[in-house]
Structure 1
Amino acid sequence: MVKKLIELSLRNRYVVLLIAAGLFVWGISAIKRNPIDAIPDLSENQVIVYTEWMGRSPQIIEDQVTFPLVSNMQGIPKIKNVRGTSMFGMSFVYVIFEDNVDIYWARTRVMERLNYAQRLLPQGVTPALGPDGTGLGHIYWYHLDAPKMDLGEQRALQDWYLKFGLQTVPGVAEVASFGGFEKQYQLVIDPVKLQFYNITLMDIMNKVKANNNDVGGSKFEMSDMAYIIRGLGYVKNIEDIENIALTNVNGIPVRVKDIGSVQMGGDTRLGIFDMDGTGEVVGGIVVMRYGENADQVIADVKTKIKDLERGLPEGVTIKPSYDRSTFIEAAIDNIKFKLIEEISVVAIIVMIFLFHWRSALSIIIQIPLTIAISFIILDALGISSNIMSLTGIALAIGVIVDNGIIMSENAYRSLSAWQNERHNKKE
């Protein structure tokens, strides 16, 4: 079989060269399409269900949120395992699917079950799906360098400008904010005044919520003109909250400022983000979607950041805290160097021992052609190019070269034996 294949190839050498050229071009195209990352993604194929119910103990969360969700997720097809975690005010359910399951099919199945499980949860508790990213989805971290802005202003800039802009980048699943504090209006109530005016905290909450709203009216026509009637009631500053009426005593309104004070403050923080011991900073974490090209997504994120920097206040810049593209580029540069190094060494060794440039050329051509075919297979199997697969290809080059040298040496030996036999017959 092998003899006939070699004979067929020798008789149709131009067809073989054409096929080899086609495979090489196909391999180059596969290299460009194949996702590139620094390390292989060995994380589980999972969908995260996140539920928030602030102020409740872990035991209450476990009994009324986590357990009903875990119980209802058990019947989803192609599931390996369901894990639940309960903590103060929060519940996490990890639905682990089989490795060959499409992640978006899995998310759809989980969402269908959540619609059914919603009726089993306490009123006002709504579970949500986590981002469609893997455990290695954190590809880029950045922070703001804004010495003239406080942490609250930096966090507002991150949450309401940078985050929304970066989420439009293709391949980005989520941009998570970290550091600083979120601004909020805080009402400091005097309990003695509450008792004096006979007002409850629930009354205050309902009145403030009702007075922070716009309402629409009808259309009023007068003198061939139409006027749209609407009420503007959204809170814009501290004074608007202080002037909200809660009740009345003898016809005199009791306002929020009569039973307490209103101040601008920050939400409760569970931690801080420090940069190299120089102080707190505010920034974001870019999370990549499943199956995306990490190198390309990072490049697109950097391009988007340059565009967003034009709209930042004067003196504010964005600096990277973690950039995985540096590891990716280092791995690619390493494999390129090894390829050039091994091709050069092989060419020199073959030229020294065989002293025949055509034999050296035939062996050298095998290296890029075999690598191109390897990427065709990687692309077909959906395996990304990472430090493990590239290292495997680099190690396999030795086998490729050995095979070429053995075949060339064997061809020389066979030709030499044939020439000697032919010379002996002439004598």
Structure 2
Amino acid sequence: MNPCRPFITRPVMTTLLSMALVIAGLFGYRALPVGDLPNIAVPIIYVVATQPGASPQQMASSVTTPLERRLGQISGISSIESDSTDSTAFILLTFDDSRNIDGAANDVQAALRAAMQDMPATLDMVPQYWKANPADSPIMVMALTSDTRPIAELYDIMQTHLQPMLSQVKGVGWIQITGSSAPAVRVEMDPYPLFKYGIGFEDIRSALASANANTPKGFVDVGTQRYTLATNDQARHAAQYRDLVVGYRNGRPVRLADLAEVHDGVQDERQTGYFNNHRAVMAIVRPQPGANVIRVMDAIRARTPAMIAALPAGVTLTPAMDRSITIRASLGDTQLTLLISVLLVVAVVLVFLRAPRSTLIPAITVPISLAGTLAAMYLLGFSLDTLSLMALTIATGFVVDDAIVVVENIARHMEAGQSRAEAAMRGAGEIAFTVLSITIALVAVFLPLLLMPGTPGKIFYEFAMTLAVTVTVSLFLSISLTPMMCGLLLDVAHGAPLPAGASAL
């Protein structure tokens, strides 16, 4: 049985199959996500909880310990590491490699909801969790600065105006705002007046809570008409809090200004950010898993003028860091290396075959094999990154091996006096299983990388699989397109003299 016969006797079908590979590769190239590293699921989830004003001991006893108790009941956890600092608890969960990270994330979310009943009432927000991903590094940092407006107002502008506009960009995932915190009214107690009037912290807390109670005020009936009382007695600025009555002593009211210094500020004064020696609020942009970093950055740049136009006077928005620049440069260098590799392979084949038409046959398998690999990469969910492009570069030298073996065997039969069609039919049939064994041997070389366990195995899986797919596509072309082209175009010129200098080589 000759597996090459259908392709040799049906050149139109073989040509259309090759063209289909090229077209699929072009579509796959445009649809593949672009990044610097493969998008992999590392079996690690980290949890963060915040409680303003809590000491490390309080965080460990009231927040970290209940969370560890709940999270420790999740199946598949190999280790739990925690760190309690001022106002923050950090927990690192490492799962077994066999555990699906998405299912583990759902279990973590359920455990955090169950742990809320054990949390203190002063907890700032529900504990948050994130899945670790090496490709989840920030792709852009935008700085908001002003010489006239306070830093708390800049934080409010970034949170209420710019963050929603950035979140609307396709491919943008998590946006972290740093450099300051939300605007707040700070009440700094003076212990001496508190002792003098016999007023405790709980009395002041209750007075502040009642001053911020936004409750219904009722209604007034006048005849057949009813008027709803709509008023907002919430205090928003420090001046509105200073005259707040905390209690009465000796028949006289004790106001908040008598007990504390009240001023406008931020929730956490220990957070700060600087850009070019100016106080700044930063927006750290991270991409969604599998997003094309280059397209996301282009979309953010396209929306930047609209974001600048939405800013008040005296506020400046500046890109502080753009990781797409290094990604573009790295991918550009790798693509240039790939192009040089293809040209060098074609040149070496031309030197030794010494016939342009004979060189065209194995040379044309290189771009078609790479195009077919790009289509397969899209179907496998891979991305265009440093490792996958390096695999394509290395595979450039492999893809011509099978074609050269087939061409040489067909040329041997032509030198024996057979016609192109007869030589192609017989030569390709003789060498088909030899080519198959060569391909299997090459794929076997990459099996250790494909079967490597743990996170290193997940990182190199895309590299090894890209190489294996490229070699497999070249096998298909060597038993289909190559013998078909040999039956139509092969020109035997092995008896011609070597070019000058080739004998020395």
Paired amino acid for 1:22: A
| Higher alpha-carbon deviation: 12-21 or 218-227 | 218-227
CA distance in 1, matches of 2:290, 2:34: 10
Query: Superposition pairs for residues 174-185 of structure 1, below 5 Å?
Result: 174-180=174-180, 182-185=182-185
- 1:291 and 1:109, CA in 2 relative to 1: closer, same or farther beyond 3 A? farther
Query: Is 1:67 matched with 2:76?
Result: no
Structure with the higher strand share, 1 or 2: 1
| Higher alpha-carbon deviation: 155-164 or 188-197 | 188-197
**Which residue is 2:48 aligned to?**
50
CA distance in 1, matches of 2:317, 2:98: 39
| Higher alpha-carbon deviation: 218-227 or 285-294 | 218-227
- 1:65 and 1:196, CA in 2 relative to 1: closer, same or farther beyond 3 A? closer
Structure 2 residue matching 1:292: 3-state secondary structure: coil
Query: Superposition pairs for residues 103-118 of structure 1, below 5 Å?
Result: 103-118=101-116
Q: TM-score, normalised by structure 2?
A: 0.73
Structure 2 residue matching 1:215: 3-state secondary structure: coil
- Tell me which of 21, 25, 39 is aligned to 2:23: 25
**Which residue is 2:325 aligned to?**
326
**Which residue is 2:247 aligned to?**
247
Q: Does the 8 Å contact 1:23/1:373 carry over to 2?
A: yes
Paired amino acid for 1:382: G
Q: TM-score, normalised by structure 1?
A: 0.85
Q: State the shift of 1:133 in Å.
A: 6.0
- 1:315 and 1:218, CA in 2 relative to 1: closer, same or farther beyond 3 A? closer
**Which residue is 1:282 aligned to?**
281
**Which residue is 1:425 aligned to?**
none
Q: Does the 8 Å contact 1:50/1:91 carry over to 2?
A: yes
**Superimposed CA distance per residue, residues 303-329 of structure 1 (whole angstroms, 9 cap, x where no aligned partner):** 333321110123533222222212222
CA distance in 2, matches of 1:55, 1:90: 9
Q: Does the 8 Å contact 1:57/1:88 carry over to 2?
A: yes
- 1:121 and 1:283, CA in 2 relative to 1: closer, same or farther beyond 3 A? closer
Unmatched 5+ residue regions in structure 2? 423-505
CA distance in 1, matches of 2:108, 2:168: 25
Structure 2 residue matching 1:234: 3-state secondary structure: coil
Q: State the shift of 1:365 in Å.
A: 2.7
Paired amino acid for 2:403: G
**Which residue is 1:142 aligned to?**
142
Q: State the shift of 1:285 in Å.
A: 0.6
- 1:140 and 1:400, CA in 2 relative to 1: closer, same or farther beyond 3 A? same
- 1:170 and 1:102, CA in 2 relative to 1: closer, same or farther beyond 3 A? farther
Structure 2 residue matching 1:236: 3-state secondary structure: coil
**Which residue is 2:171 aligned to?**
171
Matched residues, number = 418
Q: Does the 8 Å contact 1:144/1:282 carry over to 2?
A: yes
**Which residue is 2:256 aligned to?**
256
CA distance in 2, matches of 1:300, 1:76: 40
CA distance in 1, matches of 2:196, 2:183: 31
- 1:105 and 1:31, CA in 2 relative to 1: closer, same or farther beyond 3 A? farther
CA distance in 1, matches of 2:72, 2:411: 66
**Which residue is 1:374 aligned to?**
373
CA distance in 2, matches of 1:274, 1:33: 38
Query: Superposition pairs for residues 189-338 of structure 1, below 5 Å?
Result: 189-222=189-222, 224-249=224-249, 251-270=251-270, 272-275=272-275, 278-338=277-337
CA distance in 2, matches of 1:130, 1:303: 31
CA distance in 1, matches of 2:86, 2:262: 28
**Superimposed CA distance per residue, residues 17-62 of structure 1 (whole angstroms, 9 cap, x where no aligned partner):** 2222222222223223322101335672322222223444434433
| Higher alpha-carbon deviation: 82-91 or 350-359 | 350-359
CA distance in 2, matches of 1:71, 1:331: 45
Q: State the shift of 1:82 in Å.
A: 3.0
Structure 1 residue matching 2:4: 3-state secondary structure: helix
Q: Does the 8 Å contact 1:141/1:286 carry over to 2?
A: yes
| RMSD of aligned Cα (Å) | 3.1
